[in-house]
Chains A and B, each alone.
Chain A
Amino acid sequence: AQRVTQPEKLLSVFKGAPVELKCNYSYSGSPELFWYVQYSRQRLQLLLRHISRESIKGFTADLNKGETSFHLKKPFAQEEDSAMYYCALNTGGGNKLTFGTGTQLKVEL
């Protein structure tokens, strides 16, 4: 069965420091991975997806099939990055998005 693991419930970094939010997945087929973000008092929204290979708000994520990982990275954290981040896996061909338990990122001044 598919599974998404986010090992850290809370990640606290200082402003300007690099950020890496970890995500590992378990799926035997070809995965489709996403990062969603939930800012305080706002709805969940898509941050980025691996097929787009894009950088959004300075964040990037590379799919590593060998390590079954899709870590979210940003070289210099900003205060407005403080939010809840969810990694999600869409099983190929299906419509079912499985989320990890989320990581709360707190950027301190």
Chain B
Amino acid sequence: DAGVIQSPRHEVTEMGQEVTLRCKPISGHNSLFWYRQTMMRGLELLIYFNNNVPIDDSGMPEDRFSAKMPNASFSTLKIQPSEPRDSAVYFCASRGTGTSPLHFGNGTRLTVT
């Protein structure tokens, strides 16, 4: 198993542009999480899905952020329009049932200039 796969690894964009981050969870995992990592705030949960359904999006900072999970093997996190303060590393993680641990992707480092 290749683990959780995120793309791109790095994204540099200008303020105002749309950014789409992608994630492929581990096959068979039924929960998917999007986290944002910054020096100041550490790891913040943005949103998570259970069986492709968004369960808790209270961590999504603004309406500029949206996330979808059209099927069990794919999710996107979109920022439109992007702002410099969105610069961070965005992690996707997936988890199976019960007390199984989170498995993280390598993250996408986003820089908005």
Contact B102 A46 (CB under 8 A): yes
Contact B42 A96 (CB under 8 A): no
A95-B48, A95-B95, A96-B48 known; A101-B102 Cβ under 8 A: no
A to B contact number (C-beta, < 8 Å)? 48
- Determine whether A25 belongs to the interface, using a CB cutoff of 8 Å to chain B: no
Contact B105 A101 (CB under 8 A): no
A44-B91, A102-B42 known; A32-B99 Cβ under 8 A: yes
For B35, B45, B101, the residue with the greatest tally of chain A CB atoms inside 10 Å of its CB is: B101
Contact B42 A100 (CB under 8 A): yes
Residues from 44 to 100 in A contacting B, C-beta threshold 8 Å:
44-46, 49, 51, 86, 95-100
Tally of A interface residues using CB under 8 Å: 19
In the complex, chain B residues whose CB is within 8 Å of the CB of A86: 42-43
In the complex, chain B residues whose CB is within 8 Å of the CB of A95: 31, 48, 50, 55, 95
Rounded to whole Å, the gap between the CB of B42 and the closest CB of chain A is 3
Contact A43 B107 (CB under 8 A): yes
Residues from 1 to 33 in B contacting A, C-beta threshold 8 Å:
3-4, 31, 33
Residues from 26 to 43 in A contacting B, C-beta threshold 8 Å:
32, 34, 36, 43
User: What are the nearest 4 A-B pairs in CB distance?
Assistant: A101-B42, A99-B43, A46-B101, A44-B104
Given contacts A96-B56, A101-B41, 14 further A-B contacts (CB under 8 A): A34-B101, A43-B91, A43-B104, A43-B105, A44-B43, A45-B104, A46-B102, A51-B99, A95-B95, A96-B48, A97-B102, A99-B43, A101-B42, A102-B42
A residues contacting B by CB (< 8 A) are 6, 32, 34, 36, 43-46, 49, 51, 86, 95-102
